[in-house]
Amino acid sequence: MPAITSGKVLVSGANGFIAVWVVRSLLEQGYSVRGTVRSADKGKHLKEVFASYGEKFEVVEVPDITVEGAFDEAVKGVDAIEHTASPFHFKAEDPAELLEPAVKGTVGILESARKHGTSVKRVIITSSVAAVLSVPSTPQVFTEADWNDQAVKEVEEKGREASNAAKYRASKTLAERAAWDFHSKHKAEVAWDVVALNPPMVFGPIIHEVSSPHAQNTSSQTMYDVFTKEGSTVGSGSWVDVRDIALAHVLGLQKEEAGGERIIISAGAFSFQDLLDAASSSSKHLKGTPGAGKDAVHQIRFNADKSVRLLELKYHTMAETVADTLEDWEKKGW
Ligand code: NDP
């Protein structure tokens, strides 16, 4: 597929934490953007944020992404699709709450692109390292060759009794697999390829509409808790700045060689304490036990070499991300 360096891009779930940065990065690089939201009121803030782009930014309503043909109109006339809309939380009782919109939303947008996306050249799926990792018994470095079949098996076997993490991880694994399967089945009929981006926990300043700290998206809430809630500093994972995963969504269109690839987008492994240690010493927030995360042995790490090789992505440092996020909270009066 040729690199897509101009034209119109459809971004699903455009009012989400990551998606709004994807929209901003696309507009800044000259693309036009059509964003989908579930209801008109969710588009108002977006129109205000991107008012200076005039007609280059439009919002359309897709009330239910699980309905057949939901994206049929939205895909018409776009050159590429960035599919980010999917639930990300750890509160589902019934796994179907996560699995249905994740899988049906993904297959649905691809089916709409197959039938009506005559100018589409590439579809980028916002997947996750949740679709890559499995919980190892000894420390492991995961690559794009790995798939999280463990979470899918747990959900198949335990249903509602599966862990909340497994329910979310299964939704991302099944959705991403469905995307690759769909493309492999229909590649002779479509003029587009697929890219999957697999980020870990995403942190950074918030430019979508959030009424209070407790209304934040899941990963931002995790970071906020670490800084503000006693007892939330024990934990670890891998992370990436929201501006880097957003830029990866643009570079994924521009780099021809990204077609057909899964790409882990990760700045590295960290302990929650590292976030606190990366803050300026004048920060008014919790300090935890400085240095306590430094020598942690991380059970799960990700190899993100492909993101540097194929996308030439440069990552923010944790100090930059933390400083910009704390400044954003300050501005919001949090
Ligand atoms: P947000 O919760 O901020 O945004 C999620 C978006 O998906 C919103 O537009 C939301 O719409 C939409 N959405 C959620 N549930 C449904 C549903 N049932 N039907 C239709 N639309 C729905 O999350 P993020 O920005 O953090 O996540 C965006 C994507 O990135 C997701 O696919 C997530 O799995 C993935 N991801 C996120 C990571 C992170 O750390 N944040 C890490 C790895 C992957 P509405 O506002 O109407 O609910």
- Over residues 119-164, the pLDDT tens digits come to 999 999 999 999 999 999 999 999 999 999 999 999 999 999 999 9
Is residue 1 pLDDT above 80, yes or no?
Answer: no
- Over residues 254-290, the pLDDT tens digits come to 999 999 999 999 999 999 999 999 998 888 899 999 9
pTM of the entire structure? 0.98
5, amino acid identity? T
The rounded Cα 188 to chain-centroid distance in angstroms is 29
Contact 228, 263 (CB under 8 A): no
What's the 86 CA to ligand 1 centre distance in angstroms?
5
* Residue of 12, 25, 38 to test ligand 1 pocket, by largest number of atoms within 8 Å of CB: 38
- Region of 27 on the Ramachandran plot (φ > 0 left; ψ -120 to 50 alpha; else beta): alpha
Report residue 158 as tokens.
């335990």
What's the 248 CA to ligand 1 centre distance in angstroms?
17
Q: What is the mean pLDDT of residues 183-199?
A: 98
- Over residues 46-58, the pLDDT tens digits come to 999 999 999 999 9
- Whether 264 lines ligand 1, by a CB cut-off of 6 Å, is no
- Whether 43 lines ligand 1, by a CB cut-off of 6 Å, is no
37, amino acid identity? V
